[in-house]
Chains A and B, each alone.
Chain A
Amino acid sequence: MTTASNMKRIVIEPVTRVEGHGKVTILMDQANKVKQARLHIVEFRGFERFIQGRLFWEVPVLVQRLCGICPVSHHIAAAKAMDRIVGGENITPTALKMRLLMHHGQFFQSHALHFFHLSSPDLLFGFDADVAIRNVIGVAAKYPDLAVQAVMMRKYGQEVIKRTAGKKIHGTGAIPGGINKNLSIAERDELLKDIDQMMEWSRSAVKIAKDYTVENLAKLKDFGSFESNHLSIVRPDGAYDIYDGGLRAIDAQGNKIFDHVDNQKYNDYIAEEVRSWSYMKFPFIKSIGPEKGWYRVGPLARVNNADYFDTPEAEACRKEFMAVTNNKPNNITMAYHWARMIELLNSCETFQRLLNDPDLQGTDLVVKGQRREEAVGIIEAPRGTLFHHYKVDKNDQVVMANLIVSTTSNNEPMNRAVQKVAMDHLDGKPEITEGLLNHVEVAIRAYDPCLSCATHALGQMPLVVELYDNDGELIDRKTT
């Protein structure tokens, strides 16, 4: 905690139990009134710049190195774009199902990690429980069965990725126009061996998240919550899909802002705003503008947006979830956890369906067609909609790349959540304890932000240095 002349500045740095590095600053006056609360992203990435000049088939393997948390998402989004570059966007059933399996493997491991390792300490012990036990070691000591489940579920997801991408982290499975391997019978049987156990644990994970949300609904309803738009992809029939579909945006009441938008035209619908105090941009829906056009992505947005899940158990859970808000969009920030676990169950059901599909043993792996020079690949990553946009010249070299990553879309919502929690829980308090500050982090964690890849590209945003006096007046400004 540092003190300015007439203002108090509280810094939470780093924000813990999130992926990547960020910090929160809260400015309070001498009566402890909150004047400003912000989430800053202090990491920096330069991928969009330094893949320029690289060969296009390298991109799915190269760009996933943005991060070790959900590399599969970047791998697949880039591969989808490169499918179009080689004119092979209609990939074979084997390629499609191998990629689906890989992608659901990623969802399964990422969601399990977030729920059990990162968030469960807050939910199981309370937001302001003793910090010495409010961590994953505390969970392992008090709920050993849950800790084992967490590790084994994550391991299972990683094994799925290994068998489809070649490696647990940073594999090479998806190549332009398809996939470089199928699933052998031995690999399939290995994965089927544990599937019933995974289903059982997935069901119980949904139950933990649901029971927690329903039992604490009165408290959670307002916690870091606010009305917002929601964005995700959906299938042509409105079904939940994480691999392919048109863009759908709804407002807080469920009215459609746009629907089934062609991925190649995302630029006509989404724009990004730069603010001086964060390396992360602020995307918004163009037709509404930056002020009110921001939106949420991720599990909450996807469950709100989908007309149905095509797996029976997840669909039953979705109905229960939507019933809480009378089938209107759920705008409760903490409901992200419940939505995330419904997705986890959907991924597990999808494993079951895919592993019994003989297409996975097919040998027709790659297709090619009419070459293109520009392409967009959009998927749903565990944390939300992920956009990859590339231009490739006639020499096969990348000349332009733009990535809008999931956490970037949740930038404004996370800042709103931080502001709301700061106002509701810190404002006017005589003493700011660690437990109170953890409330701010709890709201951020609900979004499962991954800050590693969410920051802006080197070389595209001019560096601006602004000097303010104590009254907040801008007194000097320099740009590069």
Chain B
Amino acid sequence: MSEKITFTIDGVEVQADPGQTILQAAEAAGIYIPRLCAHKDLTPHGSCRVCTVFVNGRPQSACTQPVAPGITVENDTEKINAIRKDIIEMLFVEGNHFCMFCEKSGNCELQALGYRFGMLAPKYPYMFPKREVDASHPDIFIDRNRCILCGRCVRASRMLDGKGVFEFVGRGPEKRVQVNAEARLADTDASVTDKAVQVCPVGALLPKRVGYKVPVGQRLYDHEPIGSDIEKK
């Protein structure tokens, strides 16, 4: 086995295996680095920038940046957390995120990050974009109002399900998740058992007719902030 790499996160010495990303090494050491597009079963994407850390003083996404001997990583600092909070606020205003009736509420990673970073009301104006709901599939639906373009479904469908049901189309504010069919999810080979349906961090891609089954008080983030499981390691 190759030698461990040693570096520091917020002044704490961390040991990592060569080839690990900063995010993976931090997680193994019980240090939580917030993330949205990153998922343990998927290749890194580096698109949401919520996992931004400062490596030797330069901003990098922790989910894509490999560890290196002796680097100095800043993670839980006032400055970085302010940047992360800004990113989360921008994600909230860019879509139509109505937590008050969303069935993902309490289990939603975006909402949980909003709580973790003490977001009260976004400082940016809401954009209220017009987005489509695709409920054509008998067992799954896409609510693009809530999509944050993390690409987890795109990667999971391709890598884990071997299907390639989802892909990004458009650029800038027009960018959206499209399905591999003329128009509708119903015309793809997507299935409710696909990993792609399970990895959505928000309420954008969900199985039908199971919303609200878990009562308030028993949902994932009802009692502890997101990341608590990693910090307890």
| Complexed CA–CA distance, A62 and B218 (Å) | 20
Measured between C-beta atoms, what is the minimum distance from B86 to chain A in Å? Answer: 28
Is B87 on the interface with A (CB-CB < 8 A)?
no
> Are A172 and B216 in contact, with the CB atoms below 8 A?
yes
CB-CB under 8 A from A175, the residues of chain B are 211-213
Q: In the complex, A307→B215 CA distance in Å?
A: 37
Shortest Cβ distance from B106 into A: residue: A172
Interface residues of B in 183-215 (CB under 8 A from A): 208-215
Q: CB of B135 within 8 A of chain A?
A: yes
Q: Are A166 and B215 in contact (CB under 8 A)?
A: yes
- Residues in B neighbouring A384, C-beta threshold 8 A: none
Is B133 a contact partner of A173 (Cβ separation < 8 A)? no
Interface positions, chain A 51-70, Cβ under 8 Å from B, are 53-55, 57-58, 60-62, 65
Task: Decide if A395 touches B103 in the complex (CB within 8 Å).
Answer: no
| Residues in A neighbouring B208, C-beta threshold 8 A | 55, 396
Residues of B within 8 A of A61 (CB): 101, 103, 211-212
**Which A residues are CB-close (under 8 A) to B101?**
58, 61-62, 65
Nearest A-chain residue to B136, judged by Cβ: A395
Residue A445 at the B interface, CB < 8 A?
no
- Expressed in whole angstroms, the Cα–Cα distance for A423 and B57 within the complex equals 79
Given contacts A167-B216, A171-B216, contact A58 B135 (CB under 8 A): no
A180 within 8 A of B: yes
Q: Name the contact of B215 in the complex, choosing from A57, A65, A173, A176 (C-beta under 8 A).
A: A173
Chain B contacts for A65, CB-based, 8 A: 100-101
Contacts of B215 in A (CB 8 A): 166, 172-173, 180-181
- CB nearest to A59 among chain B residues: B101
The answer for the CA separation of A181 and B214 in the assembled complex, in Å, is 8
Between-chain CB contacts (< 8 Å), 5 pairs: A55-B135, A58-B103, A65-B100, A175-B212, A181-B218
Shortest beta-carbon distance from B195 to chain A in Å: 22
**B217 contacts A by Cβ under 8 Å:** yes
Which residues on the A side are within 8 Å of B213 (C-beta)? 175, 180
**A396 near B100: Cβ-Cβ < 8 Å:** no
B141 at the interface (CB under 8 A from A): yes
Q: A262–B216 Cα gap in the complex (Å)?
A: 34
Which residues on B sit within 8 Å (CB–CB) of A170?
100
Chain B residues positioned under 8 Å from A173 (CB to CB): 215
In the complex, are the beta carbons of A57 and B135 less than 8 A apart? Answer: no
Find out whether the CB atom of B211 lies under 8 angstroms from the CB atom of A58: yes
Asked if A402 is at the interface (CB within 8 A of a chain B CB), the reply is no
Q: Once bound together, how far apart are the Cα atoms of A61 and B105, in whole Å?
A: 11
Contacts of A311 in B (CB 8 A): none
Say yes or no: A180 contacts B135, CB within 8 Å: no
Q: How many residues of B contact A (CB 8 A)?
A: 18
Which residues of chain A are within 8 angstroms of B212 by Cβ–Cβ distance?
57, 60-61, 172, 175, 180
**Contact, CB under 8 Å: A397 / B216:** no
Q: How does the 8 Å CB contact mask read for A147-180 relative to B, with 1 for contact and 0 for none?
A: 0000000000000000001110011110110001
A296 vs B135: C-alpha distance when bound (angstroms) = 41
B residues whose Cβ falls under 8 Å from a Cβ of A: 100-101, 103, 133, 135-136, 141, 208-218
Taking A172-B212, A180-B213, A396-B141 as given, write out 15 further A-B residue pairs in contact, using a Cβ cutoff of 8 Å, ordered by the A residue number. A55-B141, A55-B211, A57-B210, A58-B101, A58-B211, A61-B211, A65-B101, A165-B216, A166-B216, A166-B217, A175-B213, A180-B214, A180-B215, A181-B218, A395-B135
Q: Report whether B214 and A57 are in contact in the complex, using a CB–CB cutoff of 8 Å.
A: no
Q: In the complex, A4 Cα to B21 Cα: how many Å?
A: 77
Q: How far is the CA of A311 from the CA of B101 in the complex (A)?
A: 36
B209, B214, B217: which contacts A396 (Cβ < 8 A)?
B209
Please name the 3 residue pairs, one residue from A and one from B, whose CB atoms are nearest each other, closest first: A166-B216, A181-B215, A62-B101
Chain B residue contacts of A172, Cβ below 8 A: 212, 215-216
Residues of B with C-beta under 8 A to A57? 103, 209-212
Which residue of A is nearest B137, CB measured?
Answer: A395
For the complex formed, measure the closest distance between the CB of B201 and the CB atoms of chain A, giving whole angstroms.
Answer: 19
Shortest CB-to-CB span from B144 to chain A, Å, is: 12
Interface residues as binary, A178-204 with B (CB distance below 8 Å gives 1, 0 otherwise): 001100000000000000000000000
B-contacting residues, A357-404, CB 8 Å: 395-397
Bitwise, A243-279 to B at CB < 8 A (1) or not (0) is 0000000000000000000000000000000000000
Which of A165, A395, A397 has the largest number of chain B CB atoms within 10 A?
A395
Chain B residue at minimum C-beta to C-beta distance from A53 = B133
Which residue of the partner chain A has the closest CB to B211?
Answer: A57
Q: Which residues of B contact A167 (CB under 8 A)?
A: 216
Q: Which residue of B lies closest to A54 (CB)?
A: B133
Could you say which residues of chain B place their CB within 8 Å of the CB of A176?
209
* CB of B206 to closest CB in A, whole Å: 9
Q: List chain B residues, Cβ under 8 A from A180.
A: 212-215
Assembled-state Cα–Cα distance A54/B103 (Å): 12
Please report the C-alpha to C-alpha distance between residue A46 and residue B215 in the assembled complex, in whole angstroms: 28
Question: Which chain B residue lies CB-closest to A182?
Answer: B215
Q: Which of chain B's residues has its CB closest to A165's CB?
A: B216
Given A57-B212, A166-B216, A172-B215, A396–B103 Cβ distance below 8 Å?
A: no
Return the chain B residue nearest A397 by Cβ. Answer: B135
Q: Which residue of A lies closest to B218 (CB)?
A: A181
Quick one: closest B residue to A86, CB to CB? B209
Closest CB of chain A to B222's CB: distance in Å?
9
**Is B133 within 8 A of A397, CB to CB?**
yes
Give the nearest-CB partner of A368 in chain B.
B209
* Closest-CB distance, B1 to chain A (whole angstroms): 48
Q: Chain A residues with Cβ under 8 A from B209's Cβ?
A: 57, 86, 176, 396
The minimal Cβ–Cβ distance linking B221 to chain A, given in whole angstroms, is: 14
Residues of A close to B133: CB separation below 8 A: 53-55, 397
Nearest Cβ in chain A — how far from B81, in angstroms? 29
Chain A residue with minimal CB distance to B186?
Answer: A395
Closest B residue to A172 by beta carbon equals B212
Chain A residues, Cβ within 8 Å of B141: 55, 396
A86 to B214, CA, bound (A): 18
Q: How many angstroms from the CA of A396 to the CA of B215 in the assembled complex?
A: 22
Kindly list chain A residues whose C-beta atoms are within 8 Å of the C-beta of B218: 181
The docked-state distance in angstroms from the alpha carbon of A462 to that of B101 is: 29
Complex Cα distance A54/B215, Å?
Answer: 21
Closest to A51 in B: B101
* Closest A residue, CB atoms, query B100: A65
CA distance A54 to B146 in the complex (A): 13
